[in-house]
Amino acid sequence: MENIVVTGGAGFIGSNLTLTLQRRYPSARITVIDDFRSASFKNLEGFRGDVIAANLVDVDLGYYIDASEVDAFFHLASITDTTDHDQYRQTHDNVESWRSILNHFAGEKAALVYASSAATYGIGGGINHVDAPLRPANVYAFTKVQLENLAARYAADFPSQKVIGVRYFNVYGPRETHKGQPASMIYHLAQQIRAGKSPRIFKYGEQKRDFVYVDDIVEGTILAATKQIEGAFDAKKFPRRVFNLGSGEARPFNDIITILNATLKTDVKTEYFDCPFPFYQPHTEADLKETTAAIGYKPSFTLESGIADYFKSGWLVPA
């Protein structure tokens, strides 16, 4: 990859992706597009590429980006706050920005990779298979389904086009500090313990999540591009072109408290309270069979090793 674009590249996952790409492809031209509504310049410390501060809904991509020269385009920009219920803002910004990108790259060589979400599966519990019916329970998840629909139509109109969607599960790790309330539960619970408070989780901590470390997410996202560029992705065998990215394991919230107590050398008790959200998912678990077969993705981190690495990075417990 010689010419790379990352939208949302100053956000949590986007900045980790951007800096990993910079290390892996030191001579590549890397461009970040971000409007900084849910991002931080601090996440890009050490970045040597170009940053375009713009809203993808109304930016003239052609002014900044020559579509014929781009090798890989990673679309992570999105309104990511699942508690934002403004249906027009969420749908307009998330969907129309993706439509603009698809139109800009129609018929070009670029490998497109876009971020979808496990939220598309809805509140039903159990293992999440990529071919399961999608039942979005909030407008954020609804917009991600629309991104997948647009990508499917785009792939049908341009059969030789390279485009893959990746459904992110519950991601945690460095560079999420700026997110505030939408940051991972692992980050929030660690801060509560650091402050000498009882960590607060919904009754009775038995809800299960596929917690996936951001380094694994970055690796899977890059694989989705490189497999297409190398011609190693079989679009006929995997016509949906959408794959789960998670740890492949569901862990209860109580496990987080246990691991954090061990990591932070504390012994705090949990405070349980009622869940106020009717759309809350009780169980997420990524089925990774197709992901592994299609792009070779295999997660490297368990919940224990991920939290340990997060702590070691200095981002979980700031100095």
For the segment 251-275, what is each residue's pLDDT rounded down to a tens digit? 999 999 999 999 999 999 999 999 8
Look at residue 233 in the predicted model and tell me its pLDDT: 96
- Range(s) of the chain covered by CATH 3.90.25.10: 172-208+249-286+302-313
Lowest mean pLDDT across 19-33, 70-84, 212-226: 70-84
Percentage of the chain lying above the pLDDT 70 cut: 99
Token pair 């050490």 is found at 46
**For range 90-107, the mean pLDDT:** 96
- Main-chain dihedrals φ then ψ at residue 256, nearest 5 degrees: -60, -45
Cα separation, 296 vs 70, whole angstroms: 23
How far is the CA of 194 from the CAs of 55, 171, 197, 268, 311, in angstroms?
A: 36, 21, 7, 10, 12
**For range 187-214, the mean pLDDT:** 94
**For range 101-127, the mean pLDDT:** 94
Catalogue the active-site residues.
140, 179
- Range(s) of the chain covered by CATH 3.40.50.720: 3-169+212-247+288-295
Look at residue 174 in the predicted model and tell me its pLDDT: 98
The number of beta carbons lying within 10 Å of the beta carbon of residue 258 is 14
For the segment 24-70, what is each residue's pLDDT rounded down to a tens digit? 999 999 999 999 998 999 999 999 999 999 999 999 999 999 999 99
- The pTM assigned to this predicted structure is 0.96
Cα separation, 136 vs 139, whole angstroms: 7
172-208+249-286+302-313 placed in CATH 3.40.50.1970: no
CATH numeric code, 3-169+212-247+288-295: 3.40.50.720
Look at residue 319 in the predicted model and tell me its pLDDT: 63
Look at residue 51 in the predicted model and tell me its pLDDT: 98
Contact call for residues 101 and 125 (beta carbons, < 8 A): no
pLDDT band, very low/low/confident/very high, at 278 (cuts 50, 70, 90): confident
